[in-house]
Amino acid sequence: MSVLSNCFPLGLGTSRLPIKSAKDTEGIEKSSQLILKALDFGVNYIDTSYPYSGGGAHLALKHAFEQTEKPYTVTVKVIHQSDKTADEARRRVERQFKSLGIDRAAFFVCWCITSYKQFLEIMNKGGVYEGALKLKDEGIIDHICCSLHASMKDSIKIIESGVFAAATISFNFTNAIQTIPILDTAVKHNVDVAIMNPLGGGGIVQNPGFFSFVQANNESVAASALRFAYSHSAVKVVLSGLNNDNELEENHEALTNKTKELDSERLVRVMSGVKSIDGFCVNCHYCNSCHVGIPVSELMSKRNRLLFGSISNQDYRRTNLELNQNIYLFQGQAGEEGSGEWFPESSVNPCIRCGQCETKCTQKLKIIESIDDIYNRTDQCGFSIKARRNRLQELLFEKDYKKVGLYPKDRFADMVMKLYERFFGTPDFEWVTFNSDSSMWGRVIDGLKVDAPHDILLIRPDIIIVCNYTYETEIYNDLKKYEADGIKIVKLHREADVPWVF
């Protein structure tokens, strides 16, 4: 039986509720009312996690749950980069139960799996999946699911493993050529799918003229995009990150009102329009087998993302158009070995301009020019192994520091420590980590104790690196006061950098 069969087609995403921070009581109240309205509409699948909406999503959900008897299902998420063992997975789930005011959940999600290698680590004895099985055996969770951010090849292998009842996958018509084979595999293996990013992170609705070909009859582009995402038979839930009542009402209407166009007809019609876009790579792979090893097909497929005009990035709160384009272009688990994503050694373009790829291209694309542009962008935004090495050398190498603080203790901090040791060997200083999440205070993670921010002056690191990307400005401004006490405060990312971890 389908594990999402009883779910309303519109799912509630909680990553962009109108909440500024966990202390934003007005935003939390406004969001709880939006959640209640969604539940009244019949929405019953809620996708959430502890850092969503500035850390306030759980507070808004708890407040809403206390005011309603409407049925709902909710996700609890464990990410392997932070919680690697069965016991750590259990503790993470218990903390989420507490913050949500619940004692069980329908869906345990192995969150943000970026590669098949990482999947195997999750499946290790004593690992996250074993912890999920124990919770299921105890009746604390109902279904073990995953969210996939891996390559097409790796995502297909993970689904074929048969260990997950459902998967959350990014799907919209701008990435459909790469994603439809994953969805087809899900159908074959009876894995239900919830869709994230059906509106392409906002880029689709911001370019209605460019994307008018997706519309049928008098639909809006947003409604057409949502209906397209729901048109594949694997898809049972389409997640929408709601910010206001108007978005809720429009999205609800799009997924509940019947249209004359059959789902199968919509899928064929829209994909035909996508393939006709000037400069669009259809991912036929004929351009591969580059003499110098450039993954041409992968890069040209990524470059499709730049064809669609203005791009916003609500997840990372950046306003610079070129930076948002670069984030969108390079989105993947940057710098993570085995991630399946392209991550160059340096920004030096190895292309010898032989023209073989362009000769083979069925769409007659300007591949050499496009590859030039991609490598230029890697230089602008620090997207290379060499750029990461140079940044860590600039910040930490041979500085005579005794203690180096990382704030917050998260995947970015883990990446900093991992890369430093890879580039420079065992550090001649002590790592110390801090986090504002009180549930982490005193815990030892990967051999390092996590300390509270109010212990900074007690521990007195020589430098604190702000590792977070989305909220780096707020964290940096909050920590600047410690410079008066001789503690240097710096940001990991330069102004034009894309995130070190996506």
54-83, pLDDT tens digit by residue?
889 999 999 999 999 999 999 999 998 788
Which of 383, 416, 444 represents a domain boundary (last residue)?
A: 383
User: What's the pLDDT at 439?
Assistant: 84
Please, are residues 237 and 7 in contact by the beta-carbon 8 Å criterion? yes
Residues 197 and 81 in one domain: yes
> In what helix (H) or strand (E) does residue 130 lie, and over which residues does it extend?
helix 128-137
Q: Of 193, 267, 261, 196, which Cα lies nearest the Cα of 228?
A: 267
pLDDT of residue 452 exceeding 90:
yes
Q: Of 488, 447, 484, 450, which Cα lies nearest the Cα of 466?
A: 488
User: What's the pLDDT at 60?
Assistant: 95
What is the domain-level CATH number for residue 485? Answer: 3.40.50.720
In the structure encoding, which two tokens stand for residue 213, read together? 């070909």
Residues 419 and 325 in one domain: no
Across 350-379, average pLDDT: 93
pLDDT of residue 42 exceeding 70:
yes
CA distance 379 to 51: 30
pLDDT of residue 216 exceeding 80:
yes
CA distance 407 to 490: 10
Residue 497 lies in a domain: no
Residue 5 lies in a domain: no
Strands 105-113 and 73-79: what pairing? parallel
Residue 3 lies in a domain: no
CB count, 10 Å around CB of 278?
7
Residues 250 and 216 in one domain: yes
User: What's the pLDDT at 269?
Assistant: 93
What is the domain-level CATH number for residue 175? Answer: 3.20.20.100
User: What's the pLDDT at 435?
Assistant: 92
User: What's the pLDDT at 23?
Assistant: 85
Q: Which residue has the tokens 């910040």?
A: 395
pLDDT of residue 149 exceeding 80:
yes
User: What's the pLDDT at 408?
Assistant: 93
Residues 204 and 307 in one domain: no
Residue 301: which residues within 8 A CB-CB, separation 6 or more? 177, 178, 281, 283
User: What's the pLDDT at 312?
Assistant: 64
> In what helix (H) or strand (E) does residue 330 lie, and over which residues does it extend?
helix 321-330
Using CB atoms within 10 A of its CB, is residue 207 exposed (0-12), middle (13-18) or buried (19+)? middle
Residues 348 and 311 in one domain: yes
Give every strand in the sheet of 463-466, ordered side by side.
444-445, 448-451, 430-434, 403-407, 463-466, 488-491
Q: Of 16, 54, 8, which Cα lies nearest the Cα of 201?
A: 16
User: What's the pLDDT at 340?
Assistant: 63
pLDDT of residue 13 exceeding 60:
yes
Residues 249 and 303 in one domain: no
Residue 501 lies in a domain: no
Residues 395 and 368 in one domain: no
Residues 88 and 175 in one domain: yes
In the structure encoding, which two tokens stand for residue 100, read together? 């949500």
Residues 236 and 156 in one domain: yes
Residue 234 lies in a domain: yes
Q: What is the pLDDT of residues 311-340, one digit of tens each?
A: 666 678 888 888 988 988 887 645 455 556
Which of 239, 273, 307 represents a domain boundary (last residue)?
A: 273
In the structure encoding, which two tokens stand for residue 101, read together? 């005011």
pLDDT of residue 237 exceeding 90:
yes
Confidence band, pLDDT 50/70/90 cuts, at residue 469 = very high
Residues 412 and 458 in one domain: yes
Q: Of 14, 105, 27, 106, which Cα lies nearest the Cα of 57?
A: 14
Across 341-348, average pLDDT: 90
What secondary structure letter does DSSP report for 497? P
User: What's the pLDDT at 88?
Assistant: 94
CA distance 310 to 320: 10
User: What's the pLDDT at 378?
Assistant: 96
pLDDT of residue 211 exceeding 90:
no
Which domain, by its residues, includes 439? 387-491
Confidence band, pLDDT 50/70/90 cuts, at residue 399 = very high
Across 210-223, average pLDDT: 87
Exposure string for 445-476, b = 16+ CB within 10 A, e = fewer: beebebbbbeebeebebbbbbbbbbbbbeebb
Residue 278 lies in a domain: no
User: What's the pLDDT at 314?
Assistant: 64
Q: What is the pLDDT of residues 76-131, one digit of tens each?
A: 999 987 888 999 999 999 999 999 999 999 999 999 898 899 999 999 999 999 99
Please, are residues 115 and 336 in contact by the beta-carbon 8 Å criterion? yes
Q: What is the pLDDT of residues 182-199, one digit of tens each?
A: 999 999 999 999 999 898
Residue 287 lies in a domain: no
Please, are residues 395 and 405 in contact by the beta-carbon 8 Å criterion? no
User: What's the pLDDT at 273?
Assistant: 87
Residue 21 lies in a domain: yes
Residues 233 and 167 in one domain: yes
Which of 383, 414, 430 represents a domain boundary (last residue)?
A: 383
Cα dihedral angle (32, 35, 37, 38), rounded to 10 degrees?
Answer: 180
Residues 269 and 360 in one domain: no
Q: Of 179, 193, 190, which Cα lies nearest the Cα of 238?
A: 193
Q: pLDDT averaged over the chain?
A: 91
Q: In the chain, count of helices (H) and strands (E)?
A: 19, 14
- Domain total of the chain: 3
User: What's the pLDDT at 278?
Assistant: 83
